[in-house]
Amino acid sequence: MLRHQLQQDTLPLTHEFLAEMLGVQRSTVSVVIRTLQTAGLIRQNRGSITVTDWEGLEETACECYGRVMDLYRRLLRPAPAAR
C-alpha cells in the first residue's frame, strides 16, 4: 500500500520500523526480507526496500492484500463535488 501512496518502487523502510509496525521481532522481518530478496521479488538497501517484481510479490501475499486495497479504495474514495 505504501508503494501505491508514494508512487515509486523504492520504499523508505527499515527492518526495525517494519517489526514495530507488524508487532514482530526484527529478526523475523530480516528472515522474511531475505526470503523475498532470494526469490527476486525485492531488493534491500540500508533504510530502504525496492520492489523489483510487483506482480510476483502480490501473488506471494495472501488474498488479504486485495481485500485491504478494495476496502481502502472504497473508504478513501474522493467525495463527489457539491453542486
Domain count, the chain: 1
The boundaries of the domain holding residue 28 are 2-75
pLDDT value of position 45? 92
Contact 49, 13 (CB under 8 A): yes
Over range 3-28, report the average pLDDT.
Answer: 87
pTM over 0.75: no
Give per-residue pLDDT as tens, 37-50.
Answer: 999 999 999 999 99
* pLDDT band (50, 70, 90) for residue 33: very high
pLDDT value of position 79? 63
Give per-residue pLDDT as tens, 65-74.
Answer: 778 878 878 8
| CATH code of residue 16 | 1.10.10.10
Q: For strand 48-51 and strand 42-45, is the pairing parallel, antiparallel, or unpaired?
A: antiparallel
Residue 80 within a domain = no
Residue 81 within a domain = no
